[in-house]
Amino acid sequence: MLGLAKRLKAKILQASTSEVYGNPTVQVQSESYLGNVNPIGPRACYDEGKRCAETLFFDYHRQHGLKIKVARIFNTYGPHMHPNDGRVVSNFVLQALRGEPITVYGDGSQTRSFCYVDDMVDSLIRFMKSPDDFTGPVNLGNPEEITILELAERILKLTGSRSEIIFKPPPADDPERRQPDITLSKEKLGWTPKVSLEEGLLKTITYFDDLLNTGYEQNNFGYERTHR
């Protein structure tokens, strides 16, 4: 893709990730933080893959003058997430709506910062329209930090579910904290997220509730409606 962008003289954006920070040793992660990643752990293929891609983007920018944008995206959620994508919001919402146990890995004290999809799309459009000399990397996410246990409890409340919360062993190298410093995005893009977590969760819950109630079945391409 970088070679294609170079040949066509096109601007190219990398959807990087907060995972480049690994399991951070600082409370709030700014773009200057170099990260704490285990390069040989079970998560490394994703973490290091994104870090390697950032390296290639900046190599092409320095060597060929390629117009690049590198966005470090923090947890994004909202309607139209795939039911089986394994993300914590979709997992918790579906478990709650089905009356299944809410599965929390570890003790639930690990934190994440969740950004509603509309806010994320707005930030990416602003980033692509920003001056070419602003390459990033730039953190894009909601700075509101919440523990995974608090997220589960909030989803139970919003869905009215009686599901119980169960705890399982944490996965290896699971980050303990995720909270973006979005000072740069405020300064350069004039962007801050507008949709509150409760508002975004309600919209997401409504989507998945409709999905479950209107008849969908899984196929090789995702989910399709089986009846109206």
- Summarize pLDDT for 189-217 with one digit per residue, the tens: 999 999 999 999 999 999 999 999 986 65
Residue that has been written with the tokens 């973490």 in this structure: 47
pTM of the full predicted structure? 0.91
Confidence of residue 22 (pLDDT cuts 50, 70, 90): very high
Q: What is the pLDDT of residues 83-123, one digit of tens each?
A: 988 899 999 999 999 999 999 999 999 999 999 999 999 99
Q: For the chain, how far is it from start to end, CA to CA, in angstroms?
A: 40
- 142-163: average pLDDT: 97
Q: Which of 38, 27, 189 is nearest to 113 (CA)?
A: 27
Is the separation of the CB atoms in 108 and 148 below 8 Å?
Answer: yes
Judge residue 105's burial from the number of C-beta atoms within 10 Å of its C-beta, 0-12 exposed, 13-18 middle, 19 or more buried. Answer: middle
pLDDT of residue 24: 94
pLDDT of residue 224: 52
Which pair of structure tokens corresponds to residue 202? 């309600």
Confidence of residue 226 (pLDDT cuts 50, 70, 90): very low
Judge residue 9's burial from the number of C-beta atoms within 10 Å of its C-beta, 0-12 exposed, 13-18 middle, 19 or more buried. Answer: exposed
Which pair of structure tokens corresponds to residue 172? 């290896």
Q: Does domain 2-212 have CATH number 3.50.50.60?
A: no
Across 23-27, 56-60, 212-216, least confident range: 212-216
Q: Omega into 137 within 30° of 0, i.e. cis?
A: yes
Confidence of residue 171 (pLDDT cuts 50, 70, 90): confident
* Active centre residues (catalytic): 46
